[in-house]
Chains A and B, each alone.
Chain A
Amino acid sequence: DTGVSQDPRHKITKRGQNVTFRCDPISEHNRLYWYRQTLGQGPEFLTYFQNEAQLEKSRLLSDRFSAERPKGSFSTLEIQRTEQGDSAMYLCASSLAGADIQYFGAGTRLSVL
């Protein structure tokens, strides 16, 4: 499978715990995006990398959220001190620089109890 893969698919955690998600983009894609999606809504942009550089971070993203892409390949999204409001589907997408099309992974569904 050469698509975007995300791990885990589902995560249940207790409020206050830290969680980390991983995204492996399509191998030749140099851009990687993280989105959050709640039920019945479109994806909400969180952050974006070109290669290993994090070029943009949504103002809606609290300081509890951090993302890395250390070698310009896979990326991780960490949420510290999770809150119930963090419960959502976290989507990763990748694309080639200059191309409009983003390809999405299946997402990680986070439930914070």
Chain B
Amino acid sequence: TQLLEQSPQFLSIQEGENLTVYCNSSSVFSSLQWYRQEPGEGPVLLVTVVTGGEVKKLKRLTFQFGDARKDSSLHITAAQPGDTGLYLCAGQAGSNYQLIWGAGTKLIIKP
């Protein structure tokens, strides 16, 4: 069974602090996606990483795909209250259409 474990499950920090969220698996993924979801809404895609070791930046968010394509991290610099939400990672293995989802990291940024 393929699993994606996200950590931490919950994080509450002050505005301006930095944070890192992790997504780990023992399985290899052909791609990995990060989503952000706000209460009562569907997940919104932030980024897709495909190549081992790949780093992508989206303003203050930096996403990294592990060299072995088994893990990924999301780093937020100088967090702002608008970053509050549920961050989900989802991996796709080979040609299988199914996404394997992590349980999410609930992030709260306090002003």
Contacts and interface: CB of A to CB of B under 8 A. Distances in A.
Interface of A: 4, 6, 31, 40-45, 48, 56, 91, 93, 95, 100-107, 109
A11 B33 CA distance: 30
Given A42-B101, A100-B50, A107-B42, 13 more contacts: A4-B42, A6-B42, A40-B106, A42-B90, A42-B104, A95-B97, A100-B33, A100-B48, A101-B45, A101-B48, A102-B99, A103-B45, A109-B40
Nearest to A45: B98
A31 B99 CA distance: 13
Interface of B: 9, 30-31, 33, 35, 40-45, 48, 50, 88, 90, 92, 97-99, 101-104, 106
Contacts of A107: 40-42
A31 B97 contact: yes
A101 B33 contact: yes
For B35, B42, B88, B103, the residue with the greatest tally of chain A CB atoms inside 10 Å of its CB is: B42
A48 B90 contact: no
Nearest to B91: A100
A44 B43 CA distance: 13
A40 B99 contact: no
Nearest to B97: A48
* CB-CB nearest 10 A-B residue pairs: A42-B101, A104-B42, A100-B31, A107-B42, A106-B42, A100-B92, A104-B43, A42-B103, A106-B41, A105-B42
